[in-house]
Structure formats: C-alpha cells, structure tokens
Structure 1
Amino acid sequence: MNLPDPALVVLVGPAGAGKSTWAAGRYRDAEIVSSDALRARVGSGTADLDASDDAFAVLEAVVAARLRRGLTTVVDTLGLDAGRRAGWLAAGRAAGMPCVTVVFDTPADLCRARNRSRDRPVPARVLTAQVRRMPAVSAEVAGEGWDLVVREDGGPAGPPAGPAPATGRPAGGAPLFAGPSGLSFVLQVSRFPWGTEPSEWLRDVARAAEEAGFAGLALMDHLIQIPQVGQPFEAIPDPLVTLGMLAGATTTLHLGTLVSPVTFRPAGVLANAMATLDVLSGGRAFCGLGAGWWAREHAGFGLPFPAAGERVDLLEQAIPVLRALWAPGTRPLAGLPETTCYPRPVGALPIIVGGTGPRVLRIAATLGDACNVPAARLDEVGPQKRTTVLDVPVLGDDREHVARLVERLRGRTPATTYAARHHAGTAAEHTERYRGLAAAGVCTAFVAPAELTGPDDVARWAPVIAHSS
C-alpha cells in the first residue's frame, strides 16, 4: 500500500508485533520517533522502564517539532493508550498532515516467539495483557477519525517495493512518441557541470542515456543560463552545435531542442540547421519550437524582444515555413519565393510546440506534431495530436538518498516544498507517477533530473524507464 507522504504515521500493536521492523523497512531513521530508542538515549537501555517518563517527554517534543515543519513522522510505541493516540491525531490535524495509523494484528504466538528472542524480554504476563487488549484497541481506532487505517499481519518487512531489475531490454531505439498507453523518455540536459573536459562529459552523458533506455536527448536553447536552473555565469552551449557533436557519438538517440525560440532562430535558418542535424544523425532529429520568453537574453545579445502577441505570431508563421523548406521541390510556398533548402531531412522531422495558453496550444494542435507543457500544467491541455511533458524530478536510490539530494539542492526553499515541487522519490515512486502520466494520455516525458551531474545520475533512470514504458 502506498501511504501518504509526508504524513503522521502512528503504529499500534503489542511487543513483538513487528512494528519497528516494518518502520525500518519503509522509512528513514530520522523519520521514526521510537520510545524504545529514546529510553536508550535518556536511560540505560531500551528496556529501562524507569526512563519511560523522560523518554515520552522527549518523544512528544520531537513529534510536535516535526509536525510543525510538515515532516513525515512515524511514532513507534505500543500505541495502545487511547489518550496518547488522541493527542497525536490532534497534533497531526493541527499541522494539516494526513494522519495514518497502522494496526498490527500479529498472531500472539509470533509476538511471544519474537519476545523470547530479545535480550530483555517483556514479562510474559505483560505481553499477554497487551495481546488481549488488541481487539478493543482495533475497535477504538476505527472510530477515532484517522484518515487511513492500515492493517498489517506482522510479517517481516522487506525493502520498499520497487521495479524489478532491468531484464536485458535493448538500450535506446525507443520511438520519440510512444503509442497508446505507452511512454517514451527523453533526457533533457539543462546544466553542464563538465569541468575541464566538456566533450568527454557530453559524450559520457549521452551514451549513458542510450544505455539506460532513453529514447532521446534534448537541450534547452538559451543564450544565458536561466534562473530556474542555475547562475548566469554557468556554461550554456549552443544546442545545435552540441547536438551535431552528439549525432556522431550516439546511434539511437533522437536529438533536438526543447525549445528553440522563434525570436532568435529565424524559421528559415532553423530549417536548414535542423535538416542538417537530421542528415548527420541518420534521421534522428526533432525540432522543439517556442515563442521565447526571457527578455534578458535578448537584450544581452542585442536581439529584438517583441510583445507577447507578436512572438506568438512569429511562432504561428514559423511552422509552415519549416514544413515548406523540408518538403520536396523548390516551388514558392508559405510566403517564400522559393524553397531551395538542402540537405533535406531524411524523413518527417517532428515539430514539438512548447508553451501554454489557449493560442499556443491551438497552434500546437493545428500545426505541430505534439505540444509540450510542464507536468504541473497538464490539466490545461485540450485535444492534441500528441502531448509531451517537461518534468524536473529528483530520483534517489532510497529514501535516505532522496533526502540527501533534496537537502543539497533545495537552497533556501523548505525541504518539503522542494521535494513536492520536484516529485522527489525513489524509482518505485517515479514509476508509479509516470504510469499515471501515460494513463492520462502523455506519450513522452522530457526528464530534466535536478540532480544531474554526470553519467551515473543518468544510469539511475534505467529501472524507471524499463518499468514505465
């Protein structure tokens, strides 16, 4: 079962029920507030009952502090006291957190066997009393108003469920646009921490993308690094030059921009460059096209920056020009006196229109081959030939790794806000989310990993791609 996250999670069950093992298999140590562990901190050990009052005082303070910050909090105690449960539930409600209780209906014999194996077993009569109280506790919990009541049988918890290892799926070769209910993945490279070997870094990242099963690789088309990604003094290479190099370093990746602004890529010049990329890559080019949005880069490079409506006009005019210059023959077309443009693309060269707003989406639907929108704005998209999304996720090996990545990347943004904004999670969690996008009609996910520093970060996506495609 997928539990809400972040959330307040209160465990309920007798000694030996498997609560601590269950929690350790699903949550980070920092998320679990355990009365036994706190007895060891403030007393002589986990079984030091004389330290219980002090341990619970610390426990309540830690629970309150984490809930105030909106952090997942797993309360690992017996949970049999209705008054304490009511207090935690009220605190969770006050913090606006989903409130979950996990009730362990563990067979009494299993609880006793586990208890006997402990260094300091709970006295048999005490454990018997706890087990006998469980039916009444279960009835109490059902009427307390928890958002979710989960029942567990107390079996040993393994690691969190996740995708099975890759099974020899051929690297690369996937279509740019997946068919119905499928999903293709394109790696969007937005930052370039390439050190002293730019070409080697780029080739390594591209080859890792092929091996991981990405269908393609896309680059932003900007003249200055955008503030959403990095600092203005960071490298932002020309995408068409860079993609030309990568055409010779890869064999299966579709290569293109997401997206090229019509404000500084005139349609005719872009048509020739994209056709050249398509020929050099053996028919693997695609063209992302947008109206342009960032005034600073235009001013900094001496380029005009028309009003929004004029920029959308340029976008609408550009697509017929691209099609005309890629079509056979040299006849007048799309307002051009001639369409002499060689080399021609190897085949149909897809145009993906990026942006939001009714008019841009209409242009995408009528003139483009697909529209691309931020994943968070998918619900704004009406009928389209194809829908693709730009996703900026954080992927970690496990919950601990995810938390470390969020802490490194978040800057001054609160950790929970950053994690939610970037869907920070494990491979299993991302797989489920991408399956949902495919079910919603998305055919391609342009993935711009927030944590991308090199090929190892690309390789981590292999199981997600294998089990979401």
Structure 2
Amino acid sequence: MVERMKTSPVRGGAHLDDPVLDQLLSEPVVVLMVGPAGAGKSTVARELAARRPHLAIVSYDQEQGDGQVVGEAAVARAHTRLDRHLADGAGAVVDGTHRQSARRAAVRRIAATHRLPTVAVVVLPGLDQCLHRQTLRTRVVAEHRVRAHHAAVTALLPVLPGEGYDLVAVLALAASGLPDFRENAAAVRDPLKS
C-alpha cells in the first residue's frame, strides 16, 4: 500500500515571527533546516532555539566534529539524539543541508514516531553570498560543493511541499542576503519570487 503524502502549506518570504510558523513552533515540533552550506542555517537554528527553549539543536556538523564532510555515521548519531530529545518531550531543530531525500525522510519518520509536526525551514540566499561566507567560516566547504548544494536546494523548492510537512517556510532575506530576523521587517527578498 502506498501512503499518499499531504501537500504542505508554503509560506514564502516568512519571518521567524510569522504567525503560522510561530503557532507551530510554540509547542514541541521538529524543525528541519534546509539550505546550502553558508546559507545561515545554523544562525537561524540558534535564533529559533533562543526564542523557544523547548527546542534543542541537533546538528550534523557537531556530530561529525572533525571539520570533514558529514558522513552517515554522524547523521545516524544526530538522528539518535533527535529521537532522545523527542522522547523526553522536547522539540528540536535539525541543522543540516537536508538536500538528500533519505535524510529528510528519516527526520520525518522520527517526528511521526513521536506524533510531532514537522516544519521545513528553507534558508536560500544567493549563490554568491553562500560562496563569500565560506571565507568567514571555521569549517570551509569547497566551492564545487557549495555550488552543488545551492543547485540541489533550489531544485527542492517545488518538491518540499509534497513531502508531507506541516509547513514549509521559506525565510525572507534582508538586503545583506542573511535571513531577516526583525519582526515585521519590510524591504526583504522572497527567494520564491527571485
């Protein structure tokens, strides 16, 4: 029997204070960060956890720990940590590129086991900004990988709504290309319309 996935609502140009996103994040939930290397996913994850103490951060990079490309063992450890946080009644922000469908599906399965909603939060600045940010990072990702990540995440935009999330929120970007955290911010760019 094939399970039919629901189509997720999409909030393009969303802010972290978006009322629909805020309502979902007010209770335990699993937030799946989606974006290329250097997009600002970890910054958004920290901001979400700071605003909502019931959300723990589960990071593939932290599980890898050696500055290398995230391997399957690190992903498995992160998923085990996620499962433990959810079993303890907390929610979590899962920080990773999530360009691989198997990783996204695994996170959704873990959330479903605990009967928690899942929200995909997409951070997608321009490729030039992602490449520039590599010069500012401790863990530098090779240019060809950043380009591949950016292309993969861009290709995911029409796919994510069909994967069964409770919400897909594509964050608005400030003129700097960074996610705009200001409440009720005006002059922002919606990656869905660029």
- Report if TM-score (shorter chain) is over 0.5: yes
- Write the distance in 1 (CA, Å) between the matches of 2:157 and 2:60: 21
- Write the distance in 2 (CA, Å) between the matches of 1:156 and 1:136: 20
Out of 7, 12, 18, the position equivalent to 2:34 is 12
Out of 61, 75, 92, the position equivalent to 2:111 is 92
The structure that has the greater radius of gyration is: 1
- Counterpart of 1:119 in structure 2 is 138
- Write the distance in 2 (CA, Å) between the matches of 1:24 and 1:134: 21
- Counterpart of 1:35 in structure 2 is 60
Alignment of 1:334-345 (within 5 A): none
Residue 19 of structure 1: CA displacement?
0.4
- Counterpart of 2:187 in structure 1 is none
How many residue pairs match? The answer is 155
RMSD (Å) for aligned C-alpha atoms: 2.3
* Match status 1:155 vs 2:157: no
Q: Deviations over 1:384-417 (max 9, x none)?
A: xxxxxxxxxxxxxxxxxxxxxxxxxxxxxxxxxx
- Write the distance in 1 (CA, Å) between the matches of 2:135 and 2:94: 24
- Counterpart of 1:136 in structure 2 is 155
Out of 42, 63, 83, the position equivalent to 2:82 is 63
Q: Is the Cα–Cα contact under 8 Å of residues 37 and 146 in structure 2 kept in the other structure?
A: yes
Out of 73, 76, 98, the position equivalent to 2:92 is 73
* Match status 1:25 vs 2:47: yes
Residue 26 of structure 1: CA displacement?
2.1
- Counterpart of 2:4 in structure 1 is none
Q: Give TM-score, length-normalised by structure 2.
A: 0.72
- Write the distance in 2 (CA, Å) between the matches of 1:22 and 1:157: 10
SS of the residue corresponding to residue 140 of structure 2 reads: coil
- Write the distance in 1 (CA, Å) between the matches of 2:56 and 2:28: 10
Q: Residues 143, 156 of structure 1: CA spacing in aligned structure 2 closer, same or farther, 3 A cutoff? A: closer
- Counterpart of 1:48 in structure 2 is 68
Q: Is the Cα–Cα contact under 8 Å of residues 22 and 157 in structure 1 kept in the other structure?
A: no
Q: Which stretches of structure 1, 4 residues or longer, exceed 6 Å deviation after superposition?
A: none
Residue 58 of structure 1: CA displacement?
1.2
- Write the distance in 1 (CA, Å) between the matches of 2:98 and 2:76: 15
- Aligned residue identity for 1:78: T
Residue 107 of structure 1: CA displacement?
1.1
Residue 35 of structure 1: CA displacement?
1.0
Residue 101 of structure 1: CA displacement?
0.5
- Write the distance in 2 (CA, Å) between the matches of 1:157 and 1:37: 25
* Identity score, percent: 31
Residue 158 of structure 1: CA displacement?
4.7
- Aligned residue identity for 1:155: L
By relative contact order (CA 8 Å, sep 6+), the higher-ranking structure is 2
Q: Is the Cα–Cα contact under 8 Å of residues 123 and 179 in structure 2 kept in the other structure?
A: no
Residue 83 of structure 1: CA displacement?
1.1
Residue 114 of structure 1: CA displacement?
0.7
- Aligned residue identity for 1:116: T
- Write the distance in 2 (CA, Å) between the matches of 1:149 and 1:73: 16
- Write the distance in 1 (CA, Å) between the matches of 2:33 and 2:79: 15
- Write the distance in 2 (CA, Å) between the matches of 1:126 and 1:100: 25
Q: Residues 120, 92 of structure 1: CA spacing in aligned structure 2 closer, same or farther, 3 A cutoff? A: closer
- Structure 1 portions without partners, runs of 5+: 162-469
- Structure 2 portions without partners, runs of 5+: 1-17, 184-194
Q: Is the Cα–Cα contact under 8 Å of residues 80 and 137 in structure 1 kept in the other structure?
A: yes
Alignment of 1:11-410 (within 5 A): 11-28=33-50, 31-40=56-65, 45=66, 47-49=67-69, 52-152=71-171, 153=173, 155-156=178-179, 158=181
Q: Is the Cα–Cα contact under 8 Å of residues 41 and 95 in structure 2 kept in the other structure?
A: yes
- Write the distance in 2 (CA, Å) between the matches of 1:118 and 1:7: 29
- Aligned residue identity for 2:178: G
- Counterpart of 1:403 in structure 2 is none
Q: Is the Cα–Cα contact under 8 Å of residues 21 and 157 in structure 1 kept in the other structure?
A: no
- Aligned residue identity for 2:29: A
Q: Residues 120, 27 of structure 1: CA spacing in aligned structure 2 closer, same or farther, 3 A cutoff? A: closer
SS of the residue corresponding to residue 11 of structure 1 reads: strand
